[in-house]
Structure 1
Amino acid sequence: MAPAPAKAIPSDDAAHVLVVDDDSRIRQLLAKYLGTNGFRVTGAADASEARQKLSAIDFDLLVLDVMMPGEDGLSLAGSLKRTSDVPILLLTARAEASDRVRGLETGADDYLTKPFEPRELLLRLNNLLRRRAGADARPGAVERIGFGRFVFDVKREELRDGDEVVRLTDRERQLLTLFATSPEGTVSREALAGPEAGVGERSVDVQINRLRRKIEDDPANPIHLQTVRGIGYRLRFD
């Protein structure tokens, strides 16, 4: 009988994921699967336990169940995004588009419906890590763009309002990078949704509106981030 293959042991510098779910079976399954695929995994049974662990550990990613007793995942995600830019992937049994939109409105970076394929979760988590790391600078690539009083550093994926750094979600950094590296700052709705985003075009509208609230004096009448009818959106930069 052949010996069983050795289990992969995540290295100390592997990405650390906090899985928050009141279902202990799901926590255990995700810990096992993600652990064998190179992640360090910590579990929490509810929002209160998650907050305790977040206060002690700097996690690289959060996998957060929406439906939990006590404080639900949407409330926790919205609270965390006001003070942290850690990427959040929401898990939920609700598949309606309106539920996905609500999740993304909290500032969450991605959304996955239960039941799901573990491989899809793994791909989405790796995509979130790549977005956070940012794209390497390329010869001749745009290094920064300015619009109004704002400057976006493409390499660092950092937005400044004068001397102040504007807090962005990973998805908002990705959107600004797409605009900065596109001809005349115009990007189609399909390209903004993209294969990695895992969201529909309606969710793109929600994300654009959220970004407008950070860069427009009057988000209802945008000057910088404008709608291009029949195409998508354009960021008018200098």
Structure 2
Amino acid sequence: MDAAVLLVEDSTPIRVAIATALAGAGCTVLAREDGDRLDRDLDEFRPDVVLLDVMLPGTDGFGLLETVRVRSDAGILMVTARDAVADRLRGLTDGADDYITKPFEMAELVARVHAVLRRRGRTATTIRIDDLVIDPDAAVVMRAGNTVALTATEFRMLTFLAQRRGRVLTKTQILTAVWGYEHYDPNLVEVHVSALRRKLEEHGPRLLHTERGIGYTLDVARS
């Protein structure tokens, strides 16, 4: 997910966690604790998506939402502890693309950002590596013309790796992007990589490679 994301969140732990998860998913993140520099950030950083906390010092998220809508065509995701229906409706009515309520799993937030990008035409709809075809919109994977049946977690992992074709990704990066939390047992990655690799190799040579001591990469078959 190659995208520029502007994050406005006043809680330092939450801001760092969100920025880390999005960076792990391949985004370039500019994180702010308030909206004081919003105008300049919109002009200079030119985000694809803006994440706005509702409860902010100074101008709140709803006020910043109006500014983003006037000055930018970025997608907007409201992030807040509020769960009142009226707040959700206000954000969506005022022009937000989506709304997520704290507490949430980082994997869900990453998925919602990706969905906003997709709806706004900011992401490619199909990924091709050799005879492997991945359609993120339809959640379909084909290998040499054969459908590859994956679990939701395997699909997220494959898409994450495919969007970074040829890059070596560590277990921590994969954990953060796929599960949303970097302190899960790293064995989770090994188990899912093994299952994903087995399914892909039912229809062709190895595409998911292990870089010993570093991590994994998805790329063309090696001789």
**What's the offset of the Cα at 1:108?**
0.8
Alignment partner of 2:39 out of 51, 55, 60: 51
Query: What is the correspondence of 1:1-238 to structure 2 with a 5 Å cutoff?
Result: 14-133=2-121
Q: Can you list the C-alpha shifts for 1:123-151, whole angstroms capped at 9, x where unaligned?
A: 111111111117999xxxxxxxxxxxxxx
Which structure has more RCO (C-alpha within 8 Å, separation ≥ 6)?
Answer: 2
Structure 2 residue matching 1:17: 3-state secondary structure: strand
Rounded Cα–Cα distance in structure 2 between residues aligned with 1:136 and 1:55: 24
Taking a change above 3 Å as real, the CA distance of residues 136 and 123 of structure 1, as seen in their structure-2 partners, is closer
Measure how far apart 1:110 and its partner are: 0.5
Amino acid at match of 2:97: D
- How much does 1:55 deviate? 2.5
Aligned to 1:5: none
Deviations 1:89-140 (A, max 9, x none): 0011111111100111221110000111111111111111111117999xxx
TM-score by length of 1: 0.49
The structural deviation recorded for 1:45 is: 1.0
SS class of match (1:42): strand
**Cα pair 2:48 2:122 within 8 Å, conserved:** no
Aligned residues: 125
RMSD, aligned CA: 2.1
Structure 2 residue runs of 5 or longer lacking an equivalent are 126-223
Moved over 4 A (4+): 134-137
What CA deviation, in whole Å up to 9, does each residue of 1:157-193 have, x standing for no partner? Answer: xxxxxxxxxxxxxxxxxxxxxxxxxxxxxxxxxxxxx
Deviations 1:27-65 (A, max 9, x none): 111111111111111101111133332231111111110
Secondary structure at 1:112's aligned position in 2? Answer: strand
Unaligned runs of 5+ in 1: 1-9, 138-238
